[in-house]
Structure 1
């Protein structure tokens, strides 16, 4: 369950939870570092449409880039590791999209966990074993999922209003500060910043709750 294969140009809801009763974020700087590392490791394999970070779990909405972009990044990484690497010898029919994309997310999660453990003098695993991922199959679900991701802190009782939780992408679509999000795409999807804001004023579809739980 929740283990759809990463494929080019498909959207995915990605989520994971800390092991047992541990926390992923203890200080505000942890949230900021998480986003920095997410961007560092995944910006060339996916576009980020929404996120929500809560003390013990997180949610992301992404679209995997097209095959050409993924292969180009694959070559770039290999050339950085080995100056003798020759892209002309590459057989694109052997390229495993899922494996390559998954490796970037694993590098991100492992790197964050290692930094978190060093900072808090902690040992052991931080995340649950498997990065959960579910393909977003239609436009209606995509729209409602953005809303529900932003509403998740309210759903879990961390705040009473989604405006009060600072570690989601909700606010980033309503200002002009630099962001790793595909802001223009999402705002165009809703029609305008005003329509985006209006859509978030209602309570999200409760039927999504079971799909969002980790």
Structure 2
């Protein structure tokens, strides 16, 4: 049975995309490569990035898709493949991945969740911004560089000393 994704043009989605080897720190070690690839893809295939956080081994993002477009899968495929092509081939790759022309850097699947309403959106934005604290990379949200939190502060949507007061485990536990 094939997994069927929820596809709705113009919808807002929360995503989690993981490295295959969750012990690696490839995303923050190669943050400039990831930024270049991400910006190139969303310039050619626009989405509105509502919130994002880049962790060492995974990332979370909330995208608002264009009104006439539901193809987030193509965007993630381009981001993942572009990032992979920019790295030297040092990872272990099993026979199945080699046969499919895959590098083995990313998990094949990713998590997506269609945002239901404003409350759901707010909870997921909070989850994204609080994620570095949850994983104990920093003690304060403002100390993590690779997050849209700083854009929210610059746009006066959050205070620089913001700390989430919601029960974020209700969203999902990775």
TM-score (norm 2): 0.79
Give the count of matched residue pairs.
Answer: 161
Structure 2 stretches lacking a partner, 5+ long: 94-103
Structure 1 stretches lacking a partner, 5+ long: 71-96, 176-186, 188-192
Does the CA-based 8 Å contact 1:51-1:59 persist in structure 2?
yes
Q: Deviations over 1:39-81 (max 9, x none)?
A: 21134331101111111111001111111xx4xxxxxxxxxxx
Q: 1:135 to 1:128 in 2, by over 3 A?
A: same
In structure 2, distance between residues paired with 1:149 and 1:135: 15
Q: Any idea what SS the aligned residue of 1:7 has?
A: coil
Q: Which residue of 1 aligns with 2:171?
A: 211
In structure 2, distance between residues paired with 1:169 and 1:155: 16
Q: Where do residues 43-192 of structure 1 align in structure 2 (5 Å cutoff)? A: 43=43, 44-67=45-68, 70=69, 97-98=70-71, 101-116=72-87, 118=88, 121-124=90-93, 125-175=104-154
In structure 2, distance between residues paired with 1:211 and 1:26: 23
Does the CA-based 8 Å contact 2:19-2:57 persist in structure 1?
yes
Q: Give, in angstroms, the shift of residue 24 of structure 1.
A: 4.7
In structure 2, distance between residues paired with 1:137 and 1:102: 19
Does the CA-based 8 Å contact 2:27-2:55 persist in structure 1?
no
In structure 1, distance between residues paired with 2:170 and 2:4: 16
TM-score (norm 1): 0.66
Q: 1:136 to 1:27 in 2, by over 3 A?
A: closer
Q: Give, in angstroms, the shift of residue 144 of structure 1.
A: 2.1
